[in-house]
């Protein structure tokens, strides 16, 4: 068969890795390499990149989730435990899942350092792929994912899995970078992302390329309205999006009925 005779189905599937189109397997491998590289400096870089504002965003996110004592929560892509520690303090039983073992190791080390102060709830770390979660259907009361969904190879599959593992009445909450819609802030943020973030990554984490990818991955992520439609297509109802700082980040939510 010559090239002109090929059909669309003959072409291999590609997905975006930043501005590159790669195979799904290559994206999974490369994303894993990114987070393996930055795991030890991840929280330090978060503080530097956001001037500490990520802590406020995460506090606001957990307030929206409203974790309750005794609830079972799956915190996907939650490796370092930032979201989980906040929910365990409210009495929830949190399973932290991440595809990257190095990120989980950082979270587990942090949990040990924190000692037994989170005895109100419980905390478990497990290596999981968001696209194929190894839990039974109708298991969790809430599913959270913060700054992780844009790194998933097939976002629609991850959303479908989130819906599957939630119990009827369960809630989905996602915190993610989005598209800045405030004029002025958008231009300033683009300049900061292009010029400064990779340099900060090099200085603090010794890795400019990984943070260049993170900038590109944010820009390739669907806009707020489109991502909300994706959540609805996965089966969630009463979907909602809450922009923060003009869409610099956004909290998406939905319910399983």
Rounded Cα–Cα distance for residues 249 and 224 (Å): 9
| Domains defined for the chain, CATH in brackets | 15-255 (3.40.50.150)
pLDDT digits (tens, 9 = 90+) for 189-198: 888 888 787 7
More confident residue, 164 or 54: 164
Give the angle subtended at the CA of 215 by the CAs of 213 and 221, to the nearest 5°: 95
Rounded Cα–Cα distance for residues 172 and 166 (Å): 8
Could you give phi then psi for residue 43, rounded to 5 degrees?
Answer: -70, -35
pLDDT digits (tens, 9 = 90+) for 89-112: 999 999 999 999 988 998 999 898
Please state the pTM of the whole predicted model.
0.84
User: What's the pLDDT at 171?
Assistant: 98
Q: Which residues are annotated as a binding site for S-adenosyl-L-methionine?
A: 80, 98, 129-130
As given in the structure block, the two tokens for residue 229 are: 């439609």
pLDDT digits (tens, 9 = 90+) for 11-35: 568 877 767 777 888 877 777 776 7
As given in the structure block, the two tokens for residue 31 are: 């994303």
Q: Which residues are annotated as a binding site?
A: 80, 98, 129-130
């Amino acid at each position: 068969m010559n090239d002109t005779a090929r059909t669309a189905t003959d072409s291999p599937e590609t997905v975006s890795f930043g501005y590159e189109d790669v195979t799904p397997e290559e994206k999974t491998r490369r994303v894993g390499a990114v987070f393996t590289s930055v795991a030890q400096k991840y929280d330090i870089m978060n503080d530097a990149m956001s001037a500490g504002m990520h802590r406020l965003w995460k506090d606001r996110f957990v307030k929206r989730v409203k974790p309750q004592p005794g609830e079972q929560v799956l915190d996907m892509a939650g490796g370092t435990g930032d979201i989980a520690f906040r929910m365990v303090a409210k009495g929830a039983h949190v399973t932290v899942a991440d595809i990257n073992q190095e990120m989980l190791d950082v979270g587990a080390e942090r949990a040990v350092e924190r000692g037994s102060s989170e005895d109100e709830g419980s905390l478990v770390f497990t290596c999981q792929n968001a696209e194929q979660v190894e839990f039974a259907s109708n298991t969790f009361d809430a599913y959270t994912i913060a700054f992780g969904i844009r790194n998933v190879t097939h976002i629609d599959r991850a959303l479908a899995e989130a819906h599957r593992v939630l119990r009827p009445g369960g809630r989905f909450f996602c915190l993610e970078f989005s598209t800045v819609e405030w004029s002025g802030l958008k231009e300033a943020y683009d300049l900061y992302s292009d010029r400064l973030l990779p340099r900060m990554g090099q200085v603090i984490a010794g890795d400019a390329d990984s943070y260049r990818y993170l900038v590109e991955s944010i820009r390739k992520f669907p806009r707020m309205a489109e991502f909300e439609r994706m959540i609805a297509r996965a089966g969630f109802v009463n979907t909602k999006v809450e922009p923060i700082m003009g869409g610099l980040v956004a909290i998406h939510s939905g319910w399983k009925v």
